[in-house]
Structure 1
Amino acid sequence: MTALPEAARGYLGSPFRHQGRSRSGLDCVGLVVLALADQGRAVADVTTYGRDPHHGLLEQHLVETFGPAIARTDLHPGDIVAIEYSGATRHVAIVGDYPGGGLSLIHTDQTVGRVTEHRLDSRWHRRITGAWRP
């Protein structure tokens, strides 16, 4: 069994597709679902969200799936974080260990059109609205 960040890295470069759940196209939730499945950990999927899964729906699903949130100040590789875009929580990512040191985010980034990994800098950290340790 591989660590969650390592499983997620297997999808780096995969294209973005809203509600996609395969290597040929996936969204941020799809990346979490597939990376966990690659570890032999089936989780309930949520596919009933629109382009803007806000109003607490995303966070509610994370709590139902992984339990209470953990402190955002205690992030470790393998944690799942919810991220704010345009004033609402609309995105999830997997925390990784950045190759150059520190932490990274592995996520399907719609703005670049694919699964990507980058350093978890202070700008991204401020946008984290919740964290879970699966």
Structure 2
Amino acid sequence: MSAAVERARAMIGVPFRLHGRSRAGLDCVGLAALALGREAPGDYGLRSGDVARAEGWLRAAGLRPVAQGRPGDLALARPGPLQLHLMIGTGAGFVHAHAGLGRVVEMPGVSPWPILGWWAVE
């Protein structure tokens, strides 16, 4: 298992908190930053649905796009028309900060949302 998957799984159960960056509360960007050992951007706009902007800060964080995700890679998904979401692939599903459930969860199987791209640590 990758170190990123281990770190993400260690956050399961942490409360969801918009712009959260610690075990006190996390959103999908905070979870991704902690799992991948990267700095979270201060001004991200996942709710704008701006894929180019999200891809820009993923590159700035030292990630590169890959054709196929592996365990520990980051999936950029579109759960709604104007919303983007980040999830850590586990090989058997995803770990992500689920706003509706109010906590970080592990979801087995395929993503219920379209995956726009996979990103790996360079």
Same fold (TM over 0.5): yes
Partner of 1:52: 47
Partner of 1:23: 23
Structure number having the greater strand percentage: 2
Q: Does the CA contact (< 8 Å) of 1:89 and 1:129 recur in 2?
A: no
Displaced runs of 4 or more, over 3 A: none
2:73 to 72, 79, 86: 79
Give the counterpart letter for 2:41 in structure 1: V
Deviation by residue 1:3-54 (Cα, 9 ceiling, x = unmatched)? 11011111000000000001010100100111233xxxxx232121357142
SS of 1:133 mapped into structure 2: strand
Partner of 1:96: 90
Shift of 1:85: 1.8
Gaps of 5+ in 2: none
Task: Note the aligned Cα RMSD (angstroms).
Answer: 2.0
SS of 2:90 mapped into structure 1: strand
SS of 1:14 mapped into structure 2: coil
After TM superposition, the score normalised by the length of structure 1 is: 0.78
Distance 1:64 1:120 in 2: 30
Q: Which has the greater radius of gyration?
A: 1
Shift of 1:63: 2.4
Partner of 1:108: 97
Distance 2:27 2:19 in 1: 6
Identical aligned pairs, as a percentage?
34
Shift of 1:89: 5.0
Gaps of 5+ in 1: 38-42, 98-102
**Compared with structure 1, are the counterparts of its residues 89 and 128 closer, same or farther at alpha carbon in structure 2 (3 Å cutoff)?**
farther
